[in-house]
Amino acid sequence: MNAPLKILDIARLREEFPILARDAYGKRLVYLDNAASAQKPRAVIDAMTQTLTRSYANVHRGLHLLSNEATTAFENARKTAARFLNAASPNEIVFTSGGTDAVNLVAYALGASEIGEGDEIILSLMEHHSNIVPWHFLRERKGAKLKWLDISDDGEIDLEAYRSLFTKRTKLVAISHMSNVLGAPTPAKALADIAHEHGAKILFDGCQAAVHGKVDVQAIGCDFYAATGHKLYGPTGVGLLYGRADVLDALPPFRGGGEMIEMVTTDYVTYNDPPHRFEAGTPPIVEAIALGAALDWMERTGLDAIAAHEAALLAHALDELRKLNFVKVYGQAKVKAPIVAFGVDGAHPHDVAAILDRTGVAVRAGHHCAQPLMRRLGVSSTARASFAAYNDHDDVEALIAGLVKAHEMLG
């Protein structure tokens, strides 16, 4: 029998985020830029402070108390990340400097070992630039060929169109698990199964999806999964790369330096086993420990409860936005994350965002590092409101009131 769904006490939860106690231009701060970066709970702030004031030292190679404490906390964070993504082993989790770094690591390693001239990489038109530019590097430097998968106006994928892109030269699929603009999830397991049927590897950009629901990399069957700490209520400067053990073991290292080696002589070098093979130099120690605290906080708060609360906020926001005949919403898939891209008739998204800001409402405006998707939608930019666990229905009402004001001023 399933346990009843936990109901979040949002007022109490908001108290865990110190920044929400401040105002914005004398008004209540309404932070709706979470798809870009989430605010941090006290548990994360305390983890960083505790590490810096009580247990900071370099990890792994020290033989003293502080180094042992830091190493234990650092590796415990790796175990937490493995549990969070349901990796088979903590050794399948590589700490990176962020989601961008994770994708670049894979691109460099595959470019050095498997992808060459004429080999194909499949991407979708809704990818973030972080999951486009590294593959353009392989196009420019190695002669790889990029093949593009179209999407519907709502960000949905036609699996038959996807299947038709594969040839004997297809080596990799690099695709978002959830659009950072449209909020649409992709059918991850089906995409992975089809890629593997054709002998290709698959990488998911999970920087949005990992925030808004449970991720099970074993159930998906992916080869790589990238996520970033600062969207997961953790700090900047740290991210995660999941790589299946056999796949990681076959990859050459990305960077050279300390920690990633086994033996160095004047004549040769041998490399460490994963994950340390891919963590050259001093890692983001404090940030990784704090990311572990953030993932613990999410699990303790309840991933299903967070998702249910966000779904209620999204439904409220979409209902209210549909009442505004001067607002166009981009991406209305039946199942989507609490990410709403929109435009206001006769107004530039930057102007809309500036007016909303003066009402205390923080949203993002621009191309959201997704220029191919903007071209697919026929716009140069949009405004974007994105919700998190600590947002409430008053935040939705503040957004709607701000948009009415923006339309009155700009329309």
Three-state SS at 293: helix
Active site residue 369: yes
Structure tokens at 323: 């009442």
Burial class of 75 by CB neighbour count within 10 A (0 to 12, 13 to 18, 19+): middle
Q: Report the C-alpha gap between 109 and 112 in whole angstroms.
A: 5
The one catalytic residue in 329, 369, 379, 401 is 369
Burial class of 141 by CB neighbour count within 10 A (0 to 12, 13 to 18, 19+): exposed
**Type of residue numbered 10:** I
Closest CA to 56 of 71, 66, 43, 41: 66
Closest CA to 55 of 45, 43, 69: 69
**In whole angstroms, how far apart are CA 395 and each of 30, 185, 310, 318, 325?**
6, 24, 12, 13, 20
CA 386-45-358 angle, 5° bins:
40
CB 240 within 8 A of CB 103: no
Give the E-state strand segments of 112-260 in sequence order.
120-124, 145-149, 170-176, 201-205, 224-228, 239-243
Q: How many other CB atoms are found less than 10 A from the CB of residue 302? A: 16
| Residue pointed to by tokens 């830091």 | 70
Q: Report the C-alpha gap between 363 and 361 in whole angstroms.
A: 6
Distinct helix (H) and strand (E) counts, the chain: 14, 17
Q: Report the C-alpha gap between 128 and 372 in whole angstroms.
A: 9
Structure tokens at 98: 């962020």
CB 217 within 8 A of CB 85: yes
| Residue pointed to by tokens 């670049």 | 104
The residues assigned a catalytic role are 369
